[in-house]
Each structure stands twice: as C-alpha cells, then as structure tokens.
Chain A
Amino acid sequence: MTADPRGVLTGVHFLDGDHAACEGALAAGCRFVAGYPITPSTEVVERFAGRIPLVGGVFIQMEDELAASIAILGAAWGGQKVMTVTSGPGLSLMMEHLGFAAITETPCVFIDVQRGGPSTGLPTLPAQADMMQVKWGSHGDYQVIALCPSSPQECFDLTIRAFNLAETWRAPVFVMMDEVVGHMTEKVVIPEASAIEVVERRWTSKAPGQYRPYEPTPDGVPEMVRAGDGYRIHITGLTHDERGYPAMNPQHQDRLIRRLNDKIRKAGEALVDVREDQCEGAEVLVVSYGITSRVASAAVRSAREKGIRVGHARLVIAWPFPRDRIRALASGVRGVVVPELNLGQMVQEVERSIPAGVPVLPVDHAGGTVHDPDAILQRILEAAR
C-alpha cells in the first residue's frame, strides 16, 4: 500500500537530517512517538511534536528514556506504528526495553543520533560508537536491523524503510544517524504519497479462538492483532509458547529464541543492502557506513587519481551484517580498509567475514569530528602496497 497523504510533506526542501528523519517517520505512518529529548536528536521529536497535531497522532514527552522506550511498545500493541528517538546516554537506558521489543516481536523504530561517548561524552559532536551496543546491548540472544543514512535525504528514505522493515520482520529497527548527518542541511525531496510504499502490519485474518499470537507463518514471523479487538492475547518478556503464555523450559527456550534469531539471520538478500562502487577487479576494498562513507568517498577518489583500483562498499544495512557479500567482495583484494568513528566496532565483523590472509586495516577515530580524508587515503595506499 502507499502512504497516507496526511503525513507526507510533498515537495523539495532544504532540511537537516533530524528534521528529514521526522518527515520520514510521518510519511511511513508513524502516529505515536514517546521520547525524552537529548542532543543531538532533539530536533526529530521537536518537529514531530509540532507536526503530529496536524497529522493526527500522539507525541508524549516522557519522564525518561526507560518510560519512552516502553510506552512505544504499548502503543504498538494498541495498533500504532511507533518510534522513539535518542542518543547514546538515552540509548543505554533503553536497553532493557530493546530486549522486551525483541522477545515480544513488537514492531518499533529507534532513531539513534550518535554522539561521542561513553557516558555524556560529547553531546554536540559526532561518533559512530553505538554500533555494537544496538546489536549486543540488551541481554540474551536477539537480532536487530540497523540502517545507516549518510545524508538528510537518506534520513528521510531510510526512516520510511525502517518502519517497513519493522512491520515485515516484527523486530526492533534502528536508524543509526550521527551528529553530523543529523545537523547537516541539504536538499531533501519528498515524493507524492502515492509514490511512497508503506508496509502494513501483519494483521491476522483468523477469528478469535483460532488465533495464536506467536504461531509463526512460513517466514518465521507471527501475525498480530490489536489489543482490545476481542482477541485473547498475552504479551510477556518471559519465554513463552505460541499462545504467548510463559513456558520456561529448555524446549520452548530453544524453539522461541532460535526462531527470533533465524527470522532475521535467514532473511538472506531481503536484509542485504551494500552499495558497491567499482568493487569489481579492485585491489583494495574500503568498507564504510553512515557519515564516514562520504569522507571515505573523498579518499577513494584521491586514491583512484593515483592509479589505485579501489572498490568502495557502503553498508546501508549494517545489521544483520552482510557477511557473505563482504566475503565475496574481499576475495582477491590486497587489503580491506575500514574507517569508522569509533575505536574498532564494525571492523570486527569485517575481520570475521573475509577470507583468511586478507589483511584488514582499520582507520579508527575516537569521535568529535569526522575523519581527515588523508588518514583514510594513507591506509588505502598502505593496503595497495
């Protein structure tokens, strides 16, 4: 189906990434946001709070991030498409409810506008250091989907996609922005509502009495109902059976947790999005994501001017990590260069994905600004030797 025109601000705009992400959420059909504003993500909820009365929906400024992250899960079971928005310190507080979202298979979107950490760190300056936290920060085995926009246009586009993926896979989906992408202003084209695909919730067609909340469909994802529509449902963070009732034994644990993980891990190409630039026949491969991919592009161009055949693979979907694709692209290269605004996070995924013997050269950075393209260029030159 296509977007509800009430939420779509069709036109050509000059917007920053935070505002563009808000418009993406509205276009995707998000009608409930609970948040606890935090720099550098505040503009997302500020705009949402201003726009939602015109569109029809709810914004609640909660007492803290724990409340924000659980309120959205309640609203999702009430039938809404939901989102919360935060940055590092708030994200840390949301980890409990990230796990609750995963085990209850509640469709929800988290926008994380990353800033320097740990703790309060650098409130107004960028980092990409929450990449592992969103994957591993809640306890237990679970999967998330994480998208990495590198421009305000992508903040719009990928936020819509985040909502669609959340509904398709019934899993928490992250939009991993950073302070630079959030605060940079560029042209953003918002199409007509009829040109925006939105994915509807997997509503059941079964009658009350026949419906079981956690009975998987063939792709492993169960169907949903709206609380209060006459179905008997039980939603719990405890390990549960297909009726949703606690079933705390190894057999149900194995069945449920494998299914939760496998529905994402075995999704295959549906959850792979690597943008490849001249990767065929490359002698050096650069793997990047988010704002760093733009800086890396400058370095890649300089290296090509020096005659080096550099391929550039940009991860639009960082989680699930596209292990097979990266392995294929890295086969036959002399080295893989991985710049990121942290001291080495996604580079670990690259290292364990690629063929033995191919050197991996991280270009780490503690955050606070973007890389100097020369630092990335130097590593490319080193890899090409």
Chain B
Amino acid sequence: MATYEVFLKKDGKDEFRHAGALDAANDELALVMARESYIRRAEGNKVWIVNRENLIVGDDDFVGPNADKPHRHHDGSAVAARRKAIRESDS
C-alpha cells in the first residue's frame, strides 16, 4: 500500500487544490479511489494524484525568509495621501 495526495481543479480559471489523501495498492486503483472518495458530486473535472514518497517538500525555514521582505511590496500610502489631500482641497 502507498499513500497518495489528491489534488483537484474545478474549472478553467481555478488552480489545482489539495483535497486530501488516500491509501491504495497502485496508481490505477489510487485514481479510482480518488474519484470515488473526492469527486463524487462534480467537485472537480481534473485530478492529480501524487505518491506521497514523491512529494518534494520545502522546510518552513526555507520558505520563511520570503515573508520578511517588505521591499517586495508597496502599499502606495504616500501617493494615496496626496490624492486625498487634492480631493479635499477641491471640495
């Protein structure tokens, strides 16, 4: 038996999303199990399954640093303040 992760995609504009996991004897049966457990009422029209052993997972420490890079964002507050000041002086 192997454990598979199941990903579903609902329609053209959505991305694949993780739906859950299942145990199955082989890839073919895993697909059948995915359909019977996770796609019972049109929850998706595309399915990916991945044997959990083949998932390549990044550590939290590896992903973490990107959450602390404020220079990659801009909140536009200075420009917004100027626009607001102009609106208020016009009225």
Q: Do A and B bind each other?
A: no
- A contacts, CB < 8 Å to B: none
Interface residues of B (CB under 8 A from A): none
